[in-house]
Every structure is written in structure tokens, then in C-alpha cells.
Structure 1
């Protein structure tokens, strides 16, 4: 297995909830039959060194899996997977440690294959600090809109405690927080969440806070960008040029 199917076996998050889509395989010789339903076969070189065993199946190793996704695209799908693999994540109800490094992904992209140049350009957008697919997508939507907030920005409460924000437009004092699908989990978690945001609003670096749900990020990105732009100071004449 390869591509999204391999990512699923490695507990790497991809866009879309539930099943990872059609089963994907890499067959350098194209010996497998084409036209099979719910199966996608890629004909690209696959040395034995790029293959591992997972759940009793032969699958592409994590760096090769991510390199394949970056070369194949789309960009957003690939970057969600790469950033998931580089971070601690809760996948399938279990806490999962990082499964590779960015250096290993870059090394896997050195092979001169179709889409490699574009893939390396996309890899430069990777931020290993992203905490969820929704955070990755929010950052990419802002990037595409010409907005450059500081990700995972450190701020301080009046008594000196550190807090980290998903995004901060530091000069404007605008914080942007993204909530995942299963954000609170319990009443205690909800109470901690409320206390945290009250503390964030006391930080001198933060003058305004916007919160968006995963549904906003995935299904209403244009509205999200409009809200962020409206909360930012209007650009000066020099900045518009």
C-alpha cells in the first residue's frame, strides 16, 4: 500500500473524516490489473528500502509515503498529512508520537521523479508546530489570502505565565484560535478552556481574539478570512502599493 492508504496505516491524518478513500498501491511494473473498483494503482519506482511491514501488510515507509503525497498533490491534502506525521497527535482515540522528521521527508524528495520540484516548494510551507488538520488548513487559507500571522505565538499573562496561541497578528494585537471537531471532551475540559481564553485576553499582547471552529475552516474559509481582515487595521496607502 502507498499514498493515502499507507498514511492511514501509519496513523497519519489526511483530509476527510473516516475512510481514506480508494485503496492505493504502487506497482512499478504495473503487473496489477487496472480497472479494479475502489483501487488506485501508481506506476512509479519503488525500491525495497522504501517498503516496511505494517499490520501484516507491505506499505511504503513514512518518509516515502509523505513524499508520494507531496508529489501527487493536491497541496492541502499533502501538507495536512506531513504536519500530522511530524507532531504529537490524537488519532483514533490514541495519543501518537511523531512518526518521522522533516529532514527525512526532504531526503525522500531528492529522488528525480515527476512532481518533485513542486513537492519541494510545497514542503517549504510545512510548519511542524501545527496542532491539527484544521490549524494547517487555517494557516494555508490565510497564506493564500496574503495574511502572515505568527503561528504558535508565545504570549504572557500579567503574572508571567506563558500561553501559546494558534495564530497572532502581533502588531495588531489580534489572536486567532482554531477549535477542532472534538474540542472540549468533558465539562472539566470546557471549564479549563474558558479559563484559558480569559487568561489569554488578559495578555498585554492580545487586544482582540477571534475563535473559529473546524467547520468554519473547512466549509466557510472565505467567511473566516473576511472576519480576520475586518479585525485587522486597514492597510495604509504605502502598504496597498
Structure 2
């Protein structure tokens, strides 16, 4: 239910949210609520966002889930806009041309068709850098690229002793390095030791003024926080 629908049903505009909470409804996002006892799963959140923004069509990984495809990573609400919209709270919005024939309805939700959806996913795959060392690195690069951030991938830097080391990403002008840690990070005592030595070497590189480290979960589950952290660091390092 949308808050506007609750108001139309007789609740006061100022007290609608309070009344719905008291009755056991769950807030999905600003202005949208799930009925008591209903699980706030991805499909429900997609439907709520589409009720608020009917010009959006579920696409990419979210459309794959709607079609029953099992993904190996957590999925966020993703849409393609048919009206030039650039943002929607709680969702990733792609601006791509979309014909009516490429839209279908699944469980009451407008989604890209089973032909268009893999094409969109393959288009995103084409943006990945083959030099990336892991899927998490590729995803981090895509997340940064969506926000207009384009660091060097697998960038080389020279330590104070003249040794060459690689960073997953480097904003060379600002001197900001980004490291993406996978599941195998610190898997053994030796790996932990090597990682500590490498981190100390990176800190001594003249080209590197600061290093940020993010986990796989940061990349896939908390990408907005990752981007905000990177932007703050870049602002701090700007002369």
C-alpha cells in the first residue's frame, strides 16, 4: 500500500505512517508499506517501487530474479527508465532505450523480457575489465563507473625500496588506492603475514597517499556506502 492510498481510504495525511506502523505494516521505502505478516522480499520491494514510479521497468539482475534465475550474489532493485528518470530512492536506474515488445509482466510486475534481460546483463559484462582479479573487483569497478569514478585497474606503484606492487584500483592523481578483499583473505597465517607486509609496502609508495580496503560484502551489499567512503577520501586528498 502507498501512503497516498491510505490517505484516500480515510487516514489523515499527517498520521498515516504512524497508524500503519501501529497496525503492524512494514515500511518498504518512503511512501510504501507491506501488509502485516507479509515478507518484504525482493519482488515486493520491486512492486512497491514500481507503484511509486510506473515509468520504471524491472531490468538487469532484478529481472533475472523475477524470471526465476538463481544468482550467485545478492541482488538489488534494478530498473530501466522509460521516461528519462535518473534516480529512484532505494534502486539503481539505468537509462537505456526500451521498446514495448521488450517488456512483459511477471507476478504483477513489469519486467524486461527473457530475451532483453540477458542482453542487458551481457552489456554490463562487456564493461568489466579482464585485468580484474575477482568478480568483486569487476563489480566494484562497475559501481564506481556508474558514479563517474574511473580509477586505474590493477595499477602498478613503486615502493620506497624500488619494488613494484599492484593495487586493485588507484586514483593516481589523488594518490588513493582501493583494495578489494575476497573470501580467501587471511585464510592462513602465512597469507595474513604476507598481506600485512604488502599493506605496509603500499603505505610507503610515493604515489599512494592513502589506501581504502573493502570486503566482497561491501561491494555487493553496501555499494552506496563504499562509494560515499571513496568520495570522502578523494575530497580529503584533493589539494
TM-score for both structures, normalised by structure 2: 0.49
Considering Cα pairs closer than 8 Å and 6+ residues apart, tell me whether 1 or 2 has the greater RCO: 1
Larger Rg: 2
